[in-house]
A and B are shown apart, each in its own frame.
Chain A
């Protein structure tokens, strides 16, 4: 009996399905989350803090600024939605870094786990982390300021999904850069989304930007989301055109991010980096 025929009857010859392997990685990240309450607290801390700062600032502007007077929640909604993008990208990058910090990549990729399954597990877990972080802050705004972002209704679901998808695309691209450049590039995980914040026009309309910078701004899905959000809050209605353009650009971000990630992974195999990377 040779190896191939014996392999079929050997217990080790059976393998997990892709769904099972993705579940295994989700389990790994849930264990990680459960293992450290300060880390869970950190997820809640920044969105809540941001909401408090911008909420009180909004109350002040409400009495002193016609812009906020026209729509009280505009700054609060922008703050909370910005956190969806930022936390989506950061959450994914942090999960990736956890494997680097623990020097676990060699063990993981000696199993049948595919890089795309790992990426999918990180994407799902980053959604969980965003919900843990942003939902309590959004709920806390209701008793504090009598403002509910949920009053936006269905457009909120669209804005949330579009920003999260952009965060994932950026997160995957940042993981690719860290795979390529090593742990010296880990600070990119925290800087990534902030680089695009000024041109995403989170708190102000695109028209404020110089004309040449507006072209850059309109190349980002986030710009359409925040312009769309202001349109809803200023009662101009839901702009389907913004939604479609943001979705199209998100697709580009996601495909580019995933392609960069997979290419960087193969490059890391070629350079022997999977077994060397770590703190």
Chain B
């Protein structure tokens, strides 16, 4: 199974001791639909990995299972060395997420929302921390405005501040730059890169944005119809598919009626 350790980004002894995420034969079946179909993968500690796939590929369901929000039908999930199905309350203080598919209360101000979450994570010196993160992600000027009055892009940045409140060791992001203009999206990607580099945190994100995946991810897992149909570093995927861009890889996989499962390098 491919991990960052195999790409040489981190020393093997560090990354392989306990992967940040270890998923074995994970499935989620709903009546009449299979959202996730027997997937297995590992994400090495301190690495950055992406789930890439079209709508309904199973990316959001996979992230939701990793957060303990959805109970899988079968399979094993270990996060930061803990069994997520049995001991999720030991893991949840150490991870966080943001997603455009869940929201924060609109009638509360940004500061009130963040205060509630800072308290839920047991943060000390909440005011200073919220102020610092708000300055970092450029939301300081609307901290005291109700969330409902903000634009979609501003809300995305607020959600990201919420996701960083507990200084997570593992950050799960669903479409992290959704609704952001190119300039702000570039800034946010840069911020995420520096957060990961500075803290040693692990990043797993789902995205449709190829530029984002190429920039942020050392390993990409291509998903289709609930399965991981290919995986590897962006460079390895380009080589294997004979494509010039990840977008071409994505289209090639999406347009195959029944993609072959490619073995991990």
A residues within 8 Å of B by Cβ?
A: 1-4, 6-7, 10-17, 20-21, 23-25, 27-28, 31-32, 35-36, 98, 102-114, 266, 269-272, 274-275, 278
**Contact flags B110-124 to A (C-beta < 8 A → 1, else 0):** 001001110111110
A1 near B168 with CB under 8 A, answer: no
Determine the residue in chain B with the shortest Cβ distance to A6. Answer: B169
B28 at the interface (CB under 8 A from A): yes
Instruction: Specify which chain B residues have a CB less than 8 angstroms from the CB of A35 in the assembled complex.
Output: 107-109, 146
- The verdict on B161 contacting chain A, using a C-beta distance below 8 Å, is no
Knowing A7-B80, A10-B169, A270-B71, say if A107 contacts B122 (CB, 8 Å). Answer: no
Q: Determine if B169 and A3 form an interchain contact, defined as CB atoms under 8 angstroms apart.
A: yes
In the complex, which residues of chain B have a beta carbon less than 8 angstroms from the beta carbon of A12?
A: 93-96, 121, 166-169
Q: For A21, list chain B residues within 8 Å (CB).
A: 119-120, 122
| Complex Cα–Cα for A230 and B69 (A) | 49
CB within 8 Å for A275 and B14 given contacts A16-B122, A106-B99 = no
Which of B28, B95, B105, B162 is the one whose CB lies under 8 Å from A272? B28
Between B92, B97, B105, the greatest number of chain A beta carbons within 10 A of the residue's beta carbon is seen for: B105
Are A4 and B121 closer than 8 Å at their CB atoms? no
CB B97 to nearest CB in A, in angstroms, measures 5
- By CB atoms of chain B within 10 A, which of A2, A36, A105 has the most? A2
B49-57, B60-68, B226-234: which lies at the interface: B60-68
B108 touches A28 (CB 8 A): yes
Partner of B30, one of A1, A108, A272: A272
Q: How far is the CA of A102 from the CA of B116 in the complex (A)?
A: 15
* Cα of A27 to Cα of B108 in the assembled complex, Å: 11
Docked pose: A11 CA to B146 CA in angstroms: 29
B191: chain A residues within 8 A (beta carbon): none
Complex interface: chain A residues within 8 A of B261 (CB): none
Q: Which residues from A are CB-within-8-Å of B119?
A: 16, 20-21, 23-24, 27
CB distance from A268 to the nearest CB of B (A): 9
Known: A2-B81, A32-B105. A110 touches B169 (CB 8 A): no
> Within 8 Å CB of B95, what residues of A?
12, 110
- Could you tell me if A103 and B120 are in contact, using CB atoms closer than 8 angstroms? no
Give the docked Cα–Cα distance between A104 and B103 (Å).
Answer: 5
The chain B residue with its CB closest to the CB of A1 is B14
On whether the beta carbons of A106 and B102 are closer than 8 Å, the reply is yes
**Please, what's the 1-or-0 string for B174-207, where 1 marks a CB less than 8 Å from any CB in chain A?**
0000000000000000000000000010000000
Nearest opposing residue in chain A for B99, CB measure: A106
User: A104 near B45 (CB under 8 angstroms)?
Assistant: no
What is the size category of the interface that chain B forms with chain A? Answer: 35 or more
> A107–B117 contact, CB under 8 A?
yes
Q: Which of A107, A114, A270 has a CB less than 8 Å from the CB of B102?
A: A107
13 extra interface residue pairs, beta carbon distance < 8 Å, beyond A12-B95, A111-B117: A3-B20, A3-B81, A6-B169, A12-B166, A12-B168, A13-B94, A25-B116, A27-B112, A32-B107, A102-B104, A103-B103, A109-B68, A112-B121
Q: What are 21 A-B pairs at a CB distance below 8 A?
A: A2-B14, A3-B45, A12-B121, A12-B168, A16-B93, A16-B123, A20-B122, A23-B119, A24-B120, A27-B112, A27-B115, A27-B116, A103-B103, A104-B104, A107-B104, A107-B117, A110-B68, A112-B92, A269-B68, A275-B64, A275-B99
A2 and B15 CA atoms in complex are apart in Å by 8
Q: Select from chain B the residue with minimum beta-carbon distance to A110.
A: B67
Complex CA gap A63/B120 in Å reads 57
Cβ of A167 to closest chain B Cβ, rounded Å = 24
With an 8 A cutoff between CB atoms, is B263 at the interface?
A: no
Whether the pair B94, A7 counts as a contact (CB closer than 8 A) is yes
The residue on B at minimum CB distance from A21 is: B120
A-side contacts of B115, CB under 8 Å: 27
CB proximity of B87 to chain A, nearest CB, Å: 11
In the complex, the answer to whether A274 meets B70 with C-beta atoms within 8 Å is: yes
- Please measure, in the bound complex, the distance between the C-alpha atom of A6 and the C-alpha atom of B121, giving whole angstroms: 18
Decide yes or no whether B106 CB sits under 8 A from chain A: yes
Partner of A111, one of B64, B120, B169: B120
Give bound CA distance, A84 to B217, whole Å: 56
Residue of A nearest to B92 (CB): A112
CB pair B105–A28 under 8 Å, yes or no, is yes
The CB with the most chain A CB atoms within 10 A, among B14, B61, B103, is that of B103
Q: Which residues of B contact A28 (CB under 8 A)?
A: 105, 108, 112, 116
Question: Distance in Å from the Cβ of A140 to the closest Cβ of chain B?
Answer: 29
Residues of B within 8 A of A266 (CB): 71
A115 CB to closest chain B CB (Å) equals: 11
Which of chain B's residues has its CB closest to A111's CB? B120
Least Cβ–Cβ distance between B99 and chain A, in angstroms: 7
Is residue B18 contacting chain A, with contact meaning CB distance below 8 A? yes
Q: Give chain B nearest CB distance to A68 CB in angstroms.
A: 43
| B191 CB, nearest partner CB in chain A, Å | 17
Check if A4 sits within 8 Å of B81, measured CB to CB: yes
**B162 to A: closest C-beta gap in Å:** 7
CB-contact partner of B70 in A10, A111, A272, under 8 A? A272
